[in-house]
């Protein structure tokens, strides 16, 4: 199939899927008007908490689940549409899927597991070519020496690699991965996420990846879509999601955040670049925020997000005056080797700061805390 680099590999438009509880009649909108586009050869991640609709979205892309409405296009071709009705079966879509459980057949040898799609899939090959391709792929994923072993003898990490090899042997244009690392221990998970990312790039395949692990999403993705109860909270590159969260949900779910409630200050200029928010610790100037859904107005309730690493602590009087400075009292200090985790109380608020490992602060100390407006985020919702 012909396509241009940088073009859209997957387009999802107003996708809807609901399940109805047969006993109660209650309707669960699992995918609630979701739209996104995935650029060709990019690593695109669906991130969200358990039950937010990640697997259902992936299964709709695969054709294993039929959506109620909307459209799914792959490389410009419509593979699903609600109106007019179109639902191309999984085997006719340019995809391969690695399910969460890997789907490795234990009664087959490693080689035969990997070779399966080349015997029965979209594109089959004669015996010798098949053998050559399978062995080359097993070599690439580090399983060359295991070709003749029973698949049941593989470790979790090896099974994960085998599942990936089998999916890549389908030569999919879009690789769908449902939490493929979640069954592995923490160390292996970090190692394999880097491997997975480089396989994806070497293979030149578009990846749609599902995870509830924000660190994994930040580390691997070109683009992240944060899902909450079947709706999109934010779409963007990892740096934007982390540094400029668009909602309280995103700020809290991705990384950790100090959230301070407030209202837009009447006296402050409601400029395009900064917004000032009246809070329990004084006026906080925010130079970072998503485009508001409507022009902000004085008195409007907003939240201010400050990441712990952006909250600075001064133990002695800091000569430089500036914005977003307020007194606080240290309530706890944890030494973590490379840094100190400091909790401070300011009025009724408790805030978390990541401080220098050598900061000389003890519980009970009166300090000044500061947050650079450039890294202080106003949240409209």
Ligand X SMILES: Nc1ncnc2c1ncn2[C@@H]1O[C@H](COP(=O)(O)OP(=O)(O)OP(=O)(O)O)[C@@H](O)[C@H]1O
With CB under 5 to 8 Å by kind, the binding choice for 19 among Mg ion, ligand X, none is ligand X
When asked if residue 279 is in the footprint of Mg ion (CB under 5 A), the reply is: no
Confirm or reject binding of residue 55 to Mg ion (CB under 5 A).
yes
Distance CA 132, CA 267 (A): 72
Listed ranges 54-62, 88-96, 120-128, 333-341: which one lies at the site for Mg ion (CB under 5 A): 54-62
Read off the tokens for 31: 């995918």
Q: Which is nearer to ligand X, 178 or 276 (CB)?
A: 178
Which residue's CB is nearer to Mg ion, number 55 or number 151?
55
Binding footprint of ligand X on the chain (CB under 6 A):
19, 28, 30, 48, 50-56, 212
By a kind-dependent CB cut-off of 5 to 8 A, residue 56 interacts, out of ligand X, Mg ion, none, with ligand X
Segment contacting Mg ion by CB under 5 A, of 6-14, 47-55, 81-89, 143-151: 47-55
Nearer to ligand X, 10 or 277 (CB): 10
Of the pair 50, 291, the CB lying nearest ligand X is at 50
Helix (H), strand (E) counts: the chain: 8, 22
- Concatenated DSSP letters of 113-177: HHHHHHHHSSS---HHHHHHHHHHHHHHTT-GGGTTSBGGGS-HHHHHHHHHHHHHHT--SEEEE
Closest approach of Cβ 316 to ligand X, in Å? 47
- Smallest distance, Mg ion to C-beta of residue 181, A: 13
Q: Which does 316 bind (CB under 5 to 8 A by kind): ligand X, Mg ion, none?
A: none
Shortest distance, CB of residue 226 to Mg ion, whole angstroms? Answer: 15
From the list ligand X, Mg ion, none, partner contacted by residue 52 (C-beta under 5 to 8 A by kind):
ligand X
For Mg ion, which is the closer residue by CB, 55 or 310?
A: 55
- Residue 183 CB, nearest approach to ligand X (Å): 13
The residue of the chain with the least Cβ separation from Mg ion equals: 55
Alpha helices in the chain (DSSP H): 54-62, 110-120, 127-140, 156-169, 186-203, 214-220, 238-243, 248-253
SS3 at position 277 = strand
Q: Are 157 and 189 in contact (CB under 8 A)?
A: no
CB of 56 to Mg ion, least distance (A): 8
Least Å distance, CB 55 to Mg ion, is 3
**Residues in region 230-249 near Mg ion by CB under 5 A:** none
**Cβ–Cβ < 8 Å for 337, 357:** yes
Q: Which C-beta is closer to ligand X: that of 28 or that of 140? A: 28
HSE, side-chain direction, 13 A CA sphere, residue 287: 7
Distances (CA, A) of 304 to 227, 270, 276, 301: 21, 15, 10, 10
Distance CA 249, CA 230 (A): 13
Per partner kind, with CB cut-offs from 5 to 8 A, the member of ligand X, Mg ion, none near residue 177 is: none
Stretch that binds Mg ion, among 51-59, 188-196, 269-277, 287-295 (CB under 5 A): 51-59
Contact criterion met (CB below 8 Å) for 275 and 378 = yes
Length of the chain: 381
What is the nearest approach in angstroms of ligand X to the Cβ of residue 180?
A: 12
| Angular region, 161: left φ>0, alpha ψ -120 to 50, beta rest | alpha
Q: Please name the residues in contact with 250: beta carbons below 8 A apart, sequence gap of 6 or more.
A: 226, 233, 234, 241
**Closest to ligand X by CB, 99 or 308:** 99
Which residue, 66 or 201, has its beta carbon nearer to Mg ion? 66
User: Binding residues for Mg ion, per CB under 5 A?
Assistant: 55
């Amino acid at each position: 199939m012909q396509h241009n680099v940088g073009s859209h590999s997957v387009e999802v438009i107003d996708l809807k899927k609901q399940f109805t509880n047969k006993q109660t009649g209650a309707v669960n909108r699992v995918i609630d008007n979701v739209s996104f586009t995935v650029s060709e050869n990019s690593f695109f991640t669906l991130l969200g908490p358990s039950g937010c609709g990640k697997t259902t979205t992936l299964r709709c892309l695969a054709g294993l689940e039929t959506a109620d409405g909307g459209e799914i296009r792959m490389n410009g071709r419509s593979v699903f549409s609600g109106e007019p009705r179109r639902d191309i079966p999984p085997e006719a879509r340019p995809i391969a899927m690695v399910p969460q459980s890997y789907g490795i057949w234990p009664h087959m040898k490693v080689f035969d597991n990997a070779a399966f799609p080349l015997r029965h899939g979209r594109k089959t090959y004669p015996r010798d070519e098949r053998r050559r391709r399978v062995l080359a792929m097993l070599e690439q994923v580090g399983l060359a020496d295991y070709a003749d072993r029973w698949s049941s003898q593989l470790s979790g990490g090896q099974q994960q690699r085998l599942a990936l090899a089998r999916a890549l042997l389908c030569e999919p244009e879009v690789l769908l991965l449902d939490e493929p690392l979640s069954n592995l221990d923490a160390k292996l998970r970090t190692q394999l996420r880097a491997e997975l990312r480089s396989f994806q790039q070497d293979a030149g395949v578009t990846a749609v990846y599902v995870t509830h692990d924000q660190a994994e999403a930040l580390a691997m993705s070109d683009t992240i879509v944060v899902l909450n109860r079947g709706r999109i909270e934010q779409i963007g590159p990892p740096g934007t999601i982390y540094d400029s969260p668009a909602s309280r949900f995103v700020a809290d779910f991705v990384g950790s955040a100090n959230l301070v409630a407030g209202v837009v200050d009447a006296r402050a200029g409601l400029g395009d670049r900064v917004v000032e928010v009246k809070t329990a610790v004084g006026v906080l100037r925010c130079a970072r925020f998503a485009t508001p859904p409507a022009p902000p107005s004085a008195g409007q309730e907003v939240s201010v997000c400050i990441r712990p690493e952006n909250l600075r602590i001064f133990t002695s009087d800091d000569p430089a005056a500036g914005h977003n400075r307020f007194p606080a009292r240290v309530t706890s200090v944890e030494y973590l080797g490379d840094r100190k985790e400091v909790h401070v109380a300011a009025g009724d608020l408790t805030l978390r700061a990541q401080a220098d490992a050598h900061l000389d602060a003890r519980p009970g100390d009166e300090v000044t805390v500061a947050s650079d407006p450039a890294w202080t985020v106003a949240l409209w919702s």
